[in-house]
Structure 1
Amino acid sequence: MRLAFAVAAAGAVAQIAGPLIGVVDAAPPAAFTALPLLIALALLPPVVATAFAVGGRPIVGAAVLVGSALLAPGRVLGDLQFLLDPLVVSRPEITVPTSLAPLRAGAGLWPLLIGHLLVIAAGVLAANRAGAPYGTPYAAELDDEVRQRSAPLGLVAGIAAAFGLQLSPFTSGNAFLLAEGLIDSPWLLRFALLVAGAGVVAAALVGAGSRPSVARGVSLGAALGVLAITAPQIAAALWVPLLDAAPGPYVALVCAAGLAVSVWVTTRAHGKADPLRVAGALGLLAGLAGIAAATTTVIAVNGVAQETYSNRLFLPAGILVAALSIPLLFRASAAPVRPAFAAALAAIPLAGMSTLDAMVTATAVDATVGTGAAVWFTGAAGVLAAAAAVTALVAGSAERGEPEERPLDLVLVAPLAVAGLLAVGAFGLPVVKAKGLVPPGIWTEFRLASLGLLLAVLTIVVAVALTPVSRPHRAGALLLGCAGLVGVRVLEYPLTAARAAGSVPGPGLWLALACAGALVVAGLMVLSRR
């Protein structure tokens, strides 16, 4: 075990040494100052693993090294492409070619490859659990645990993360910087993507059938491995001119985080875990990150912050999610509030996609436009909200237990149908109308912000569809949470109407007000029928 941690630390040092020495010989510089990011990504797995070991959870620490090692073979194959032809490697954190002149690998490639191999060796050493002396924390943790049941949600998250890794890392307007996914990549990079995806799926399979500590550590280590691959891609899309964000890295990262969260909240290591408290903590952090995104800079021109309206919706969204997160931290109020909390979480991507849409549009127009801290808070809020949603759904599944036969409540069908139809119009039609203003929509002008609108509509439609056959006290809370989500949409008009001269309320505002009222009435009707 000690040797495994030492080898992992040596691997991190070697991965840092590679870019310092130079992966490509006499190459053009990197597109941005990526060395601090690369150092942090290399150090994270051994530091996290050591922290668990020092904290008395050595099996979790060892499993973190195993999970990180599962992604290393794909990274080895990807970096070997520098040896064949550096021109076709889309790694702006290393170098950005400025011509078609041939490039060759530098001396730093060998420490980088050795670092990956040391990470694999550390994983192999950490996976060997034989010979733990009796009385050590390692043996005690191993003896106290039993194998867990399968976690289907983790398997789905792992497969989705693997799919995200196969997509393009970003979109490129630079002819010398390719942005190719699985289909268009050279053969070696194609195998690298497939092997990396297989590593994530393997981590999900381990999480579905191993001891709790092993499952938790492997899923966390795999998430750190996915972070090491996707973080430079996301940073390049945000900071490098002529590059724009693509969904692949975000899908991979969010789903890998979902894999880790689902495994952690569905396992039982020492004592009974409380997923509702975990969901409450994640939701509170998501709400605070949303409030921070609403009060910080989205874009700046030559370093000067610009006034924006797209992130203002984060203020009511963050307050709503944070307010509903607090009851989840207390056992007496957690279960009744959980459905409302789960529905309200859709307000975070509703505001977040609007913010990212404005950022992507502005940075694509002019190279002097840069991003501010609000973009980072937006990403953090989205990841935390996704993790909170997964945790809340897992908690709800565990709470339901055995399925029950419930008769269809026909009295509720009419008001619920009205609420669902009004929701489609509330999010599909503009809230603000003005001459020359073209807001995003669902049927027309489908943009990045439209994804948030679509998710909100789906949340409400699913909620009203499930209400007649759900437990009344949970269904009522779910509808009231949906009413809060629609309320965030209503507040878009007073918060953003000043973005266009002569703005007036659009049909979406009146439909949103009617939808919120219908949801409140339906929710109270459901609660009154307890």
Structure 2
Amino acid sequence: MADAPPPGYASTALLVVLALLPAAIAIAFAVTGRAVTGAGVLVGAALLAPGRALVDLQLAVDVLRASRPEILVPTSLAPLEPAAGLWLLVAGHVLAAVAGALALARAGAEPGSVYAAEFDDPSADRPTRARSVFTRSALLAGTIAAVGLLVVPFASDNAFVLALGVVDSPAPARYGLLALALGAAGAAVFAGSAANLAVARGMVLGLLAAVAAVTVPQITAGLFTELLHPAFGPFLALAATAALAAALWSVSPAASAKDADVRLDLRSLHRVAGVLGVLTSAAAVIAGTSSLIVADGIDTPPAYASRLFLPVAVAVLLLSAPMLASGSAAATRPAFIVVLAGVGLAAAGSLDAAFTATGASGAVTVGAGVWFAGLALVLACAAAVTAAIAGGAERDDVDLTERSYALPVAAPAAVAALLAVGAYGLPVLKAPDLVAPGIWAEFRFASWGLLIALGAVVAAAALAPAARPPRAGALLLGAAALVGFRALEYPLTAARAADGRPGQGLWLAIAAVVALVIAAATAVSARR
């Protein structure tokens, strides 16, 4: 932009590295004799290029509604004219899309050439079972990444920097965000279902590089730009894409050559998920024991909002240990995935408290607890996606032809789901001067954590009646622990408000826990 104000942070080197990353990875693979993997990198990155171009064109239409602090932070309402750099940036996206199209078409390689022969090598093909497992898992990861790209990229207390998601964004940025979401989901599924493992690996690396090019500047802006704060969306998109990339690259060509060897990868996925769970627990403990805010010369209040991290960390750690053992991982996995939603519940509440405090005074800055809360959230997302991929791999080895819907389990599970709606929608603590975040009213950043936890409980209650008895029991017990975290908010945070008393949400949470435990006991003892 001509005569543009400076960006919110020193972003030039970061943006250059992120822009060159897909091409650099593709060249590195080509030089080392893995041209097909390099071609996949170009294809994966190209699927996000149209969306990125449309998002950048918003700078030419209305820079004040572009929400691009990594490029500039407006200081007035004066209009800005686009300069040559903007058109070069858009041209770069167009060339990236063309490169991906050429790579997809094998760049006109002659039949019998080395490049075409590598593409047509049948020894690199994945079996139908492996492709089916990763297609379903990639659909889940791509959907999560798409949601992360559609929501607001950061929170803003600066009137000149708007935090806009897909709903609030003007055209062409709105259409660019939609194209980004579709491109991310499409690239993930394309990579998961690709017949050639080299192509699949390259595509997911290209997708990860492209998602990083969008999200890393947003995350950095939220962390280092004055009056801006991080949001969960970019972390979610980056974590889901990284987990899918890790899963695809953890599959060895030898293991993917035979359907019977997919079980070997299942053990590897369980161990990766377990390690991520242990790391999540460690980050949650640090987040729960560190200061959320720092203020010079001011006594900061206790971090009540982050106390929920401690019981969540204990539960995640207890479930992570069995994930590392081959004999117990499969039985523990459903509860492990559900309980990880508790990290989102705790992180959203902690970040909401920190952002509210920093927005109230310029003398208040975020403390170490905020960084570790964000780290715990990213690790939890990666662990959940990895465990979900392992679940898809296991289901391909199970005969589900005689599976039935267990009505004795469905009844208490349905009651529990209804009680959970009230537990998360109504406050667990009531006080004269306390305005608690909610789902239907007082929707704040913390409300996203309530929605994540509620969605996990409802999903577990809906899936359990159709699941195998041990898995159904694990799902429901995990959901019971998740609702239990909501009930623990009262004893852990009651001291934050004078004259506090239990709210309706506390009693509904306790009732939901009881209903879920009954449903779990019924599922385990039921005969299908």
Compute the displacement of 1:31 (Å).
2.0
1:200 aligns with 2:194: no
Q: In structure 1, what is the Cα distance between the partners aligned to 2:405 and 2:93?
A: 57
1:430 aligns with 2:427: yes
Partner of 2:460: 463
1:345 aligns with 2:345: no
8 Å contact 1:29–1:94 — kept in the other structure?
yes
Partner of 2:254: 270
Query: CA 1:182 to 1:511, structure 2 compared with 1: closer, same or farther past 3 Å?
Result: closer
8 Å contact 2:11–2:70 — kept in the other structure?
yes
8 Å contact 1:262–1:390 — kept in the other structure?
no
Query: CA 1:142 to 1:428, structure 2 compared with 1: closer, same or farther past 3 Å?
Result: same
1:290 aligns with 2:284: yes
Partner of 1:216: 201
Compute the displacement of 1:520 (Å).
3.9
Compute the displacement of 1:82 (Å).
5.5
Q: What letter matches 2:495 in structure 1?
A: A
Residues 264-285 of structure 1 show CA distances to partners (whole Å, capped at 9, x for unaligned) of 68x7743142232333233333
Matched pairs, number: 505
1:71-90 equivalent positions in 2, closer than 5 A: 71-76=48-53, 78-79=55-56, 89-90=66-67
Q: What letter matches 1:342 in structure 2?
A: I
Deviates more, 1:100-109 or 1:394-403: 100-109
8 Å contact 1:85–1:104 — kept in the other structure?
no
8 Å contact 1:432–1:503 — kept in the other structure?
yes
Compute the displacement of 1:174 (Å).
4.6
Partner of 1:523: 520
1:184-263 equivalent positions in 2, closer than 5 A: 189=173, 192-193=176-177, 196-197=180-181, 199-207=183-191, 208-241=193-226, 243=228, 249=234, 252-253=237-238, 256-257=241-242, 260=245
Query: CA 1:41 to 1:366, structure 2 compared with 1: closer, same or farther past 3 Å?
Result: farther
Q: In structure 2, what is the Cα distance between the partners aligned to 1:513 and 1:233?
A: 39
Which of 343, 348, 357 pairs up with 2:352? 357
Q: In structure 1, what is the Cα distance between the partners aligned to 2:299 and 2:310?
A: 19
Residues 84-124 of structure 1 show CA distances to partners (whole Å, capped at 9, x for unaligned) of 77566432122222234454556766875676577567757
Query: CA 1:122 to 1:299, structure 2 compared with 1: closer, same or farther past 3 Å?
Result: farther
1:41 aligns with 2:18: yes
Query: CA 1:221 to 1:287, structure 2 compared with 1: closer, same or farther past 3 Å?
Result: farther
8 Å contact 1:134–1:140 — kept in the other structure?
no
The residue matched to 2:124 in structure 1 has which SS?
coil
1:376 aligns with 2:353: no
Partner of 1:452: 449
Residues 346-400 of structure 1 show CA distances to partners (whole Å, capped at 9, x for unaligned) of 2111112212222332233334333233333333322332333233333333323
8 Å contact 1:426–1:509 — kept in the other structure?
yes
Partner of 1:399: 394
Q: In structure 1, what is the Cα distance between the partners aligned to 2:57 and 2:415?
A: 59
Structure 1: give runs of 5+ residues left out of the alignment. Answer: 1-23
Partner of 2:493: 496
Query: CA 1:417 to 1:26, structure 2 compared with 1: closer, same or farther past 3 Å?
Result: closer
Q: In structure 1, what is the Cα distance between the partners aligned to 2:403 and 2:47?
A: 45
TM-score norm. by structure 2 comes to 0.77
1:146 aligns with 2:131: no
Partner of 2:474: 477
Query: CA 1:56 to 1:380, structure 2 compared with 1: closer, same or farther past 3 Å?
Result: farther
What is the CA RMSD across the aligned residues, in angstroms? 4.3
Query: CA 1:41 to 1:311, structure 2 compared with 1: closer, same or farther past 3 Å?
Result: farther
1:47-58 equivalent positions in 2, closer than 5 A: none
Which of 463, 469, 484 pairs up with 1:487? 484
Q: Percent identity?
A: 51
Query: CA 1:143 to 1:245, structure 2 compared with 1: closer, same or farther past 3 Å?
Result: same
Compute the displacement of 1:317 (Å).
0.9
Q: In structure 1, what is the Cα distance between the partners aligned to 2:28 and 2:317?
A: 30
Q: In structure 2, what is the Cα distance between the partners aligned to 1:529 and 1:87?
A: 60
